[in-house]
Structure 1
Amino acid sequence: MPAIVLVGAQWGDEGKGKATDLLGSQIDYVVKFNGGNNAGHTVVVGDQKYALHLLPSGILTPGVTPVIANGVVIDLGVLISELDGLEARGVDTSRLRISANAHVIPPYNTVLDKVTERFLGKRRIGTTGRGIGPTYADKMNRIGIRVQDLYDESILRQKVEAALQGKNQLLLKVYNRRAIEVDEVLAELLEHAERIRPMVTDTVLELGTALDEGRTVLFEAGQATLLDVDHGTYPFVTSSNATAGGACTGSGVPPTRIDRVIGVFKAYTTRVGEGPFPTELDDEHGDHLRTVGAEFGTTTGRPRRCGWADVVIGRYATRVNGLTDVVLTKLDVLTGLEKIPVCVAYDVQGRRVDEMPVGQSDFHHATPVYEELPGWTEDITAARTFEDLPVTARRYVERLEELIGTRISVIGVGPGRDEVIVRHDLLGRDEA
């Protein structure tokens, strides 16, 4: 049985939760391998809508074991709040597994994240202010706090004291803020330790054993390809690896075990936060995409920047992740548009560029080269086969498929879990 990586192929918010839900009945484990509560999934089950920020969306599927792996940074308060919220709605959360090696977001990093971003002013990155970046920095600086540290108070105190020596100097002398006391940090970190203790385990061992036993494991990326700290539009990125390679380092499962990589694209493009965005629309078309597509952040509520589909970044995502399949979401949002432009290349100071520019400056100055495709007016939300779609909608999908270079296996035609068209089996069982 396969190990599958599911990644966002643009700047995030592509609908990875829906793709995970589509696979839900066919998989045994869903693993979150990067990020924290700085992004979210919205999953619609029947007439119920669930907004998940830290938990893997597989927690909503009975029989699936959700895993928060070692590559994730955990805000304990947010985790408990999400668990309580789901349990109040009748969802069984006892199956959750949490890596003992995952790092915890201490309260001082949330404070530093917010004050640093304000201090940057016009040079701000556009972070969510949830302490994600500072916690990953602590991890690399080897002063981080892991879940396992919660169960040895002596070690925990030593680590908090060591971290605060430098951080309090920053707060006091650079940002003119009060110093943070060791005891208040310990109290906040230890508040939820016993609640999650039964869920804490060696997730590397459990996942390896599951694959040895022939179980199907889905690795679910937080954020997306263009937000990857190494391969995204740096410095306007997240602080972790959101591409397929991050599934290995973020979970302890080696690359030789990965069978398929599924990339999720919207039928157009959105972005939250700062940074260049070649196809961004600041006109009535952008308003249409934002309004019809309900483009407001699951976690932050911020309105998303909207633009036409960009196959330059699509080809880049295919190459960086090694995509075997694409899930195309929100095709229905384009209904009613007479013409639908698709960015097929960039103009960079008079030069046509067909692939992602290497230089940050070139990408910043890139303007889109468009190919216009005819739109459609028919309601497509009831379509369940590719042939049910209007001819022009089919041509739009086929042209994207051709330009991206990867087969589009699933098409989302509405927000509901059943509002999809399946062209190819995501587990590859139709390839024989």
Structure 2
Amino acid sequence: MPALVLLGAQWGDEGKGKATDLLGGSVDYVVRYQGGNNAGHTVVVGDQKYALHLLPSGILTPECTPVIGNGVVVDPSVLLSELSGLNERGVDTSKLLISGNAHIITPYNVTVDKVTERFLGKRKIGTTGRGIGPTYADKINRVGIRVQDLYDESILTQKVEAALDVKNQILTKLYNRRAIAVEQVVEELLAYADKLAPYVADTVLVLNQALDDDKVVLFEGGQGTLLDIDHGTYPFVTSSNPTAGGACTGAGVGPTKISRVIGILKAYTTRVGAGPFPTELFDEDGEALRRIGHERGVTTGRDRRCGWFDAVIARYATRVNGLTDFFLTKLDVLTGWEQIPVCVAYEIDGRRVEELPYSQTDFHHAKPVYETLPGWSEDITKAKSFSDLPKNAQNYVKALEEMSGAPISAIGVGPGRDETIEINSFI
């Protein structure tokens, strides 16, 4: 039975939550494999809207087991708050599993994140300030705190001491901040132990046994391909691997078990934070996309930068992820434009470039080369099949499919759970 990876094929915010939720009734496990509460999903169920930051979208499907894998960094206060909020709304969260090997975002990680961004000034990366980057840095530097450490006070204290030996020097001598007390951090972290205990498990074992038992497992990436630490627009990226390979390391499942990789594409392009964005619009069209598409970050609350669809990026996402399918979202937002430009290539120093340049310098200087497609004015939110779409909307989808290099198997025509056209089944 399939193990599916579902990930963002642009800079994140493509509508992964809706796609995951749509599949939730057909899968047994939904797994977050990287990132932290710097990622956000909005899922609309009936007249209810749910904003999820750290939890897998499968938390809203009663038959599904949601899993936070070892590749995720966990802020315990955020997680418990999110669980409490869902419980108050009648959502059963008791099936959640958290990897004991997932790393904890500590209070000092958050402090370091914020003061570092402030110190960088105009060179700042545009992080969410939630401690994600410093937590991954601690993980690589082997001074990180893992969920399992909450259950051994001696080990926890030793690890916090090791981390703060260096960090307090930086905070006091470089940033002129007060030193953080080891005892205070240990006490705060230990307070979460009993509350998290019912959820902690060996998720690597659970997931591999599930696949051996022919269960369907969906791996849900946070952020997007162009924010990948290795394959994104470095250094304006996240601190983990949202690409398909990250699902294997972030969940402990071998690549031979992955049967399908689904990329989520918005019918236009958005980005949050700093960094290059060739198709970004600074005119009325950009503002209209932002307004009609409700383009504001679920987690950050920041307005998203908006631009036309970029086929160069889509082709790149197909290549580095080995995408088998696309889920095209927010097609309805484009209703009303007489003409819709699509970026098919870049111009860099007078050269036409049709693939994403590997050079950071070239990408910063890339100018979009557009082809214009005819738009449509008809309401498409009630469309139930591809043939229900206006002819120009059909042609737009077909053009994006051809340019992007993988079949479009589903189309979002509205925010609701049922406002989706399924062309080919993902399972």
Length-normalised TM-score, structure 1: 0.99
Shift of 1:63: 1.0
1:240 equivalenced with 2:205 (yes/no): no
The residue matched to 1:259 in structure 2 has which SS? strand
Counterpart secondary structure, 1:426 = coil
Q: Does 1:149 find its partner at 2:149?
A: yes
Q: 2:244 aligns to what SS in structure 1? A: coil
Please give the residue correspondences for 1:103-114 in structure 2 after superposition, counting only pairs within 5 Å: 103-114=103-114
Counterpart in 2 of 1:256? 256
TM-aligned CA deviation for residue 351 of structure 1? 0.4
Q: Post-superposition shift, 1:70? A: 0.2
- 1:378 equivalent in structure 2: 378
Structural mapping, 1:183-198, within 5 Å: 183-198=183-198
How far has the Cα of 1:187 moved from its partner?
Answer: 1.8
Deviation of 1:39 (Å): 1.1
The letter for the 2-side match of 1:287 is E
d(CA) in 2 for partners of 1:198, 1:170:
37
Report the CA distance between 1:125 and its aligned residue: 0.2
Match of 1:67 in 2: 67
Structure 1 segments, 4+ long, off by >6 Å, are: none
The answer for the alignment partner of 1:218 in structure 2 is 218
**Aligned partner letter, 2:243:** T
Aligned partner of 2:84 in structure 1 is 84
Secondary structure at 2:381's aligned position in 1?
A: coil
CA distance in 1 between counterparts of 2:190 and 2:263 reads 38
- Matches for 1:96-107 after TM superposition, within 5 Å: 96-107=96-107
Structure 2 residue matching 1:263: 3-state secondary structure: strand
CA distance in 2, matches of 1:161, 1:332: 53
- Residue matched to 1:292: 292
2:377 maps to amino acid: T
Matched, 1:39 2:73: no
**Count of aligned pairs between the two proteins:** 427
Distance 1:76 1:190 in 2: 11
Q: Deviations over 1:37-84 (max 9, x none)?
A: 001000001100000000001000011000000000000000000000
The CA deviation at 1:338 is 0.8
Tell me the SS of whatever aligns to 2:4. Answer: strand
Deviations 1:313-365 (A, max 9, x none): 00000000001110000000000001000000000010000000010000000
Counterpart code for 2:183 = D
Amino acid at match of 2:335: T
1:423: which partner in 2? Answer: 423
- 1:201, CA displacement in angstroms? 0.8
1:184: Cα distance to partner? 1.2
Aligned to 2:176: 176
Q: Distance in 1 between matches of 2:222 and 2:425?
A: 23
TM-score by length of 2: 1.00
Which position in structure 1 is the counterpart of 2:346? Answer: 346
Residue identity opposite 1:14 in structure 2: E
Map 1:94-133 to 2 at 5 A. 94-133=94-133
Provide Cα deviations, 1:206-236, integer angstroms capped at 9, x if missing partner: 0000000000000000111000000000000
Residue 198 of structure 1: how far off its partner (Å):
1.4
How far apart in 2 are the matches of 1:217 and 1:409? Answer: 19
- Supply the distance in 1 between the matched residues of 2:272 and 2:139 (Cα, whole angstroms): 25
Residue 28 of structure 2: aligned partner: 28
Structure 2 distance, partners of 1:417, 1:291, is: 21
Residue type of the partner of 2:263? G
One-letter amino acid of the structure 2 residue matched with residue 187 of structure 1:
E
One-letter amino acid matched to 1:50? Y
Matched residue of 1:30: which SS? strand
Deviation at 1:183, TM superposition (A): 1.3
What SS does the aligned partner of 2:42 have?
strand
What's the CA shift for 1:285?
A: 0.3
The 3-state SS of whatever aligns with 2:262 is: strand
Partners of 1:255 and 1:84 lie apart in 2 by 35
Residue in structure 2 matched with residue 271 of structure 1 by the alignment: 271
How many angstroms does 1:141 deviate by?
0.3
| 2-structure distance, mates of 1:222, 1:328 | 17
SS of structure 2 residue aligned to 1:274: coil
Q: Partner letter of residue 269 of structure 1?
A: T
Match of 2:4 in 1: 4
Q: Structure 2 CA distance, aligned partners of 1:348 and 1:250?
A: 36
Deviation of the 1:250 alpha carbon: 0.3
AA partner of residue 323 (structure 1): L
Task: Report the Cα offset of residue 394 of structure 1.
Answer: 0.3
Q: Which residue of 2 aligns with 1:414?
A: 414
Structure 2: tracts of 5 or more residues without a match: none
Deviations 1:353-410 (A, max 9, x none): 0000010000000000000000000000000100000000000000000000100000
| 1:300 alignment partner AA | T
Alpha-carbon separation, structure 1, partners of 2:155 and 2:425: 49
Aligned to 1:161: 161
Shift of 1:191: 1.5
Look up the match of 1:430.
none
Alpha-carbon separation, structure 2, partners of 1:368 and 1:96: 44
The one-letter code of the counterpart of 2:389 is: L
Q: CA deviation at 1:190?
A: 1.3
* One-letter amino acid of the structure 2 residue matched with residue 6 of structure 1: L
Distance 2:377 2:188 in 1: 54
CA distance in 1, matches of 2:269, 2:214: 37
In structure 1, what is the Cα distance between the partners aligned to 2:18 and 2:123? 34
CA distance in 1, matches of 2:114, 2:209: 41
Gaps of 5+ in 1: 428-432
C-alpha distance in 1 between matches for 2:157 and 2:46: 46
- Give the match's secondary structure for 1:250: helix
CA distances 1:175-208 after superposition (whole Å, capped 9, x unpaired): 0000000111112211211011011010000000
Residue equivalent to 1:327: 327
